[in-house]
Chains A and B, each alone.
Chain A
Amino acid sequence: MSDDFTFEGWRRPDGRIGIRNHCLVLATVVCVAGVVREVGRRLPEVVAVEHPHGCGRGGPDIGLQLKTLAGLVQNPNIGGAILVGLGCEPVSVGLLSAVIGDSGKPLKGVVIQETGGSGKATEQVEAMAREMLAELAEMPRSPGTAADLTLALECGGSDTFSGMTANPAVGKAVDRLVAMGGTAILSETTEMIGALGPLLRRAANDEIAAQLKKMVDGQEAVTRKILGDFADRALAPGNVESGLSTIAEKSLGCIAKGGGTPIREVLAYAQRPGKQGLVVMDTPGYDAESMTGMAAAGAQMIAFTTGRGSPAGFPGVPVIKVSSNSNVYQRMMDDIDVDAGRVLSGMTLDEVAEEILTLLLRVCSGEKTKAEVNRQDVFAIAQTHQAL
């Protein structure tokens, strides 16, 4: 592929461009899950998102939920949204609409306690969704380039090969995307513990270096508090089975996804990037919460590497799966888009990076990823305290 990266997307009123034009049916609170699920069953073309949040937490966590759910609605891949609330929750349809503000996108709300219960609410949301889908189908396309893209980076089910095949191959694709004006978000602060040295060397300036150090040291302190003597082995059983011995070993492999360009900004969870190029977001290492934070920040696509074979996707945001070894690719072809394990048998990282970039462009132009086909949508918001 030459570095000519243009595609037809949907330009949103805020200037960002979507590579999908989804109608989102979003629960504001856990109690409406059945309605959202039923609408999703009746209209498979909508992106239906239910979750365990919206109530039962203190102020800071409710704030994080509002920021994250609003960010998801504002994600450029979402053409319009219908919020489904219950009526007595803190994350209400009214409050969430106010946080979203005037996005210029079609936005509607249904409150179950005001519509005569779940059955009637389901009928109402379904009718609204049919209308919105018809409206979105009429929306004209606009050209986009790599400079319009924010690519989220994720790894899940890492193995010892991740850091020498899939992650550096994604890193090389990121370097090329950044050279074309694009943006990439490296996250998973837990998987930066032990890898602070190389990260600090790549900070664009001293202020960013100080922010990175504070962020990773803070996460290391939290991890030590939770895991005690086991903190150095903040690893999943599958990581250890595959040969990874310490969190530092896993982290050094993980950060290879970011490639070699300078780190230009450090973001809070779900915060929209203000700079182009490589940026870092403070998220848990837990995949579902990390992907949610980056999607809420506006990432239109996620590159997800896996050694053990994670099938996880994300609602409304295409996830591209890259395997670190060919065994897992052969075993899970239904779930994995690119096999970077071929690096172990002679393919170069640059050749795999080329395949990844070519696939990114095809996905921008509408090709569905395996996770999209499988509808393997996972969604979870990072929280700081337990439920009250």
Chain B
Amino acid sequence: MTRFGGRHYSDAMSVRAIRIDAADNVAVVVADVETGGRVRLDDGSELTAAQPVPRGNKVALAAIAAGGPVIRYGEEIGAATTDIAVGDHVHTHNLGGRK
């Protein structure tokens, strides 16, 4: 049974981010996060957002070197176009399709 954590989107201290598969190196935040904001995964681990991450956008859970695979749903959704650090906002500016 899949249950994505607690009752609230976020609390005063942190914003939830959802990782779908254990292999994923990005997670989706369920509310807007500011630079320096805390992001919490359902396993209790936390990280700090390096830039603003809008609701529904992805945050990096691990460092990804330029050219490396970005994984969501346990599958490659594209490749990093620049080096990505933990806590970075991941979207079209640093994630491209596979060629």
Residues of chain A having any CB pair with chain B under 8 Å? 159-161, 163-164, 168, 194-195, 197-198, 231-233, 240, 242-243, 245-249, 252-253, 325, 343-346, 348-350
Chain B: CB-nearest residue to A349: B2
27 pairs, A vs B, C-beta closer than 8 Å: A160-B28, A160-B57, A161-B28, A163-B20, A164-B18, A164-B20, A164-B28, A194-B77, A197-B75, A198-B73, A198-B75, A232-B96, A232-B99, A233-B97, A243-B54, A243-B56, A243-B58, A246-B78, A248-B75, A248-B76, A248-B77, A252-B75, A253-B73, A344-B18, A344-B30, A346-B6, A346-B7
Chain A binding surface SS class? helix
| Surface stretch bound by A, among B33-41, B60-68, B87-95 | B87-95
Given contacts A160-B28, A197-B75, A245-B58, contact A346 B98 (CB under 8 A): no
Please, which residues of chain A bring their CB within 8 A of the CB of B20? Answer: 163-164
Q: Which of A161, A245, A325 contacts B77 (CB 8 A)?
A: A245
Q: Which of A159, A194, A197, A344 contacts B97 (CB 8 A)?
A: A194
Residues of chain B having any CB pair with chain A under 8 Å? 1-9, 18, 20, 28, 30, 54-58, 72-73, 75-78, 90-92, 95-99
Output the least CB separation between A355 and chain B (Å).
15
Q: Which of A164, A197, A249 contacts B78 (CB 8 A)?
A: A249
Q: Evaluate contact between B56 and A160: CB separation under 8 angstroms.
A: yes
Given contacts A246-B78, A346-B3, contact A163 B73 (CB under 8 A): yes
Q: Evaluate contact between A345 and B98: CB separation under 8 angstroms.
A: no
Please, which residues of chain A bring their CB within 8 A of the CB of B92? Answer: 233, 240, 245
Please, which residues of chain A bring their CB within 8 A of the CB of B28? Answer: 160-161, 164, 243
Output the least CB separation between B52 and chain A (Å).
13
Please, which residues of chain B bring their CB within 8 A of the CB of A233? Answer: 92, 97
Q: Evaluate contact between A231 and B97: CB separation under 8 angstroms.
A: yes
Q: Evaluate contact between B30 and A232: CB separation under 8 angstroms.
A: no
Q: Evaluate contact between B77 and A252: CB separation under 8 angstroms.
A: yes
Q: Evaluate contact between A348 and B56: CB separation under 8 angstroms.
A: no
Q: Evaluate contact between A245 and B91: CB separation under 8 angstroms.
A: yes
Chain B: CB-nearest residue to A253: B73
Chain B: CB-nearest residue to A256: B73
Chain B binding surface SS class? loop
Interface centre among A159, A194, A248, A325 (most CB of B within 10 A): A248
Output the least CB separation between A325 and chain B (Å).
8
- Tell me the complex Cα distance, A247–B96, Å: 10
Q: Which of B6, B18, B77 contacts A246 (CB 8 A)?
A: B77
Instruction: Identify the 4 closest CB pairs spanning chains A and B, nearest first.
Output: A232-B97, A249-B77, A243-B56, A243-B57
- Tell me the complex Cα distance, A246–B7, Å: 30
Q: Evaluate contact between B56 and A247: CB separation under 8 angstroms.
A: no
Chain A: CB-nearest residue to B99: A232
Please, which residues of chain B bring their CB within 8 A of the CB of A344? Answer: 4, 9, 18, 30
Output the least CB separation between A34 and chain B (Å).
44
Please, which residues of chain B bring their CB within 8 A of the CB of A197? Answer: 75
Please, which residues of chain A bring their CB within 8 A of the CB of B91? Answer: 240, 243, 245
Chain A: CB-nearest residue to B78: A246
- Tell me the complex Cα distance, A161–B18, Å: 10
- Tell me the complex Cα distance, A164–B4, Å: 10
Q: Which of B3, B97, B98 contacts A348 (CB 8 A)?
A: B3
Q: Evaluate contact between A345 and B9: CB separation under 8 angstroms.
A: yes
- Tell me the complex Cα distance, A163–B54, Å: 18
